[in-house]
Amino acid sequence: MTVLGERRGVAAELAPTAPVPDGGAWRPEHGAGDRRFAQVGPLTLESGAVLEEVTLAYETWGTLDADRGNAVLVLHALTGDSHVLGPAGPAHPSPGWWEEMVGPGRPIDTDRHFVIAPNVLGGCQGSTGPSSPAPDGRPWGSRFPAVTTRDQVAAERRLREELRIPGWALVIGGSMGGMRAIEWGVTHPDEVRRLGVIASSARATADQIAWNSAQIAAIEVDPGFHGGDYYHLPAAEGPHLGLGIARRIAHTTYRTAEELETRFGNRPQGREDPLDGQGRHQITSYLDHHAAKLARRFDANSYLTLARSMSTHDVGRGRGGLEAALGRVRARTLVVAIDSDRLFPPALVDEMAEHIEHVDRHLARSPIGHDAFLTAHPGLAEWISELMDG
């Protein structure tokens, strides 16, 4: 990741003021790229609402064995998508997000395994979500119902059935993807042989919910939000400012104070002068940059939907508590905490691991913080390889 070059003030180049011409959500005219699409039928949600037609976008790598037993499910985080491998392009706004761990000869080896990565229910990169058409042909917008982690796993299970895969050799994910992974292990223990939960937890904490609430509020107070019904507007008039603020808040929780201090300190950005009230610090420019990137590739309503689903995550809800729920997991499980993670601290990850019977737990050491699960970490590569070979 790089810091934006020299620039004076908050000019048009700054992210939230310069979104892509047609907004951040994928649309058919962008082209399918490497995506495939599965129609998985109607889905009754935990809220009681019914989505009559659910589509899941997904991508695959590798070859399915004759017995269909080598399938791996990789689950993305909040602003991720199905594009685990491959370059960016017109259909894919970002390059593959986990190429260090998935691919030929990688810990999740696509020469040996058939890897499937779906875009989550409620997302904005091809799966049914707020930006996709409702039965009346208009975007769902504010009418899109609340979805939970369990609803998302229910949709992914429909995808498994649609692809006629009997079970998973591995279900793995980090952060929000880890929430879905542990939900898979609890809800469908007979369908998961191995489980990888990276920098994640079995429940949302008050701290996580608080950060999510601040991000949600930033989007909802944007004058361009229009209560969630903004898809008829030019992208420049939509809620990209609020989405950019939400991203700034979130990105701060993904990194550590120590890393930011080492990289940026209180230095000004180029020749800009913060003392005049217009110039920025390097850290401000860095956050502006990440706000810009997200505003160009993500939908604000999807951000709200997924942040809320994370806040309601709790595998113990209605199952007698965490200990009873996690006792249902039968998979050989890898649980990894990051020592500097302030969003999913090691104690929270340990709370989950201590109630799983067949578990290997590890502590990854990194100065980066939560985002370390996305980087080339030698320990993580080793531990995933051991899980796959076991």
Residues marked active site are found at 175, 341, 370
Look up residue 370 and give its two tokens. 């939560």
**C-alpha distance from residue 312 to each of 247, 307, 309 (Å):** 20, 9, 5
The angle, 0 to 180 degrees and rounded to 10, between the axes of the packed helices 300-311 and 206-220 is 160
Query: What's the chain's length in residues?
Result: 390
- Closest by Cα among 247, 242, 213 to 230: 242
Read off the DSSP letter of residue 152.
Answer: H
- Closest by Cα among 363, 320, 312, 85 to 198: 363
Side chain identity, residue 347: A
**Cβ of 312: how many Cβ atoms within 10 Å?**
17
Instruction: Enumerate the β-bridge partners of residue 214.
Output: none
Sequence-ordered strand ranges (E) for 277-358: 332-338
Q: Which residue has the tokens 């998935």?
A: 102
Q: Is 142 exposed, middle or buried (0-12, 13-18, 19+ CB in 10 A)?
A: middle
Phi (first) and psi of residue 204, to 5 degrees: -80, 145
User: Distance (Å, rounded) from C-alpha 307 to C-alpha 259?
Assistant: 25
Side chain identity, residue 333: T
Give, for 363, the enclosing helix (H) or strand (E).
strand 359-364
Give, for 54, the enclosing helix (H) or strand (E).
strand 50-61
Q: Which residues, in sequence order, are CB contacts of 339 under 8 Å at separation 6+?
A: 346, 363, 364, 365, 366
Q: How, if at all, do strands 71-75 and 114-118 pair?
A: parallel
The angle, 0 to 180 degrees and rounded to 10, between the axes of the packed helices 300-311 and 176-187 is 50
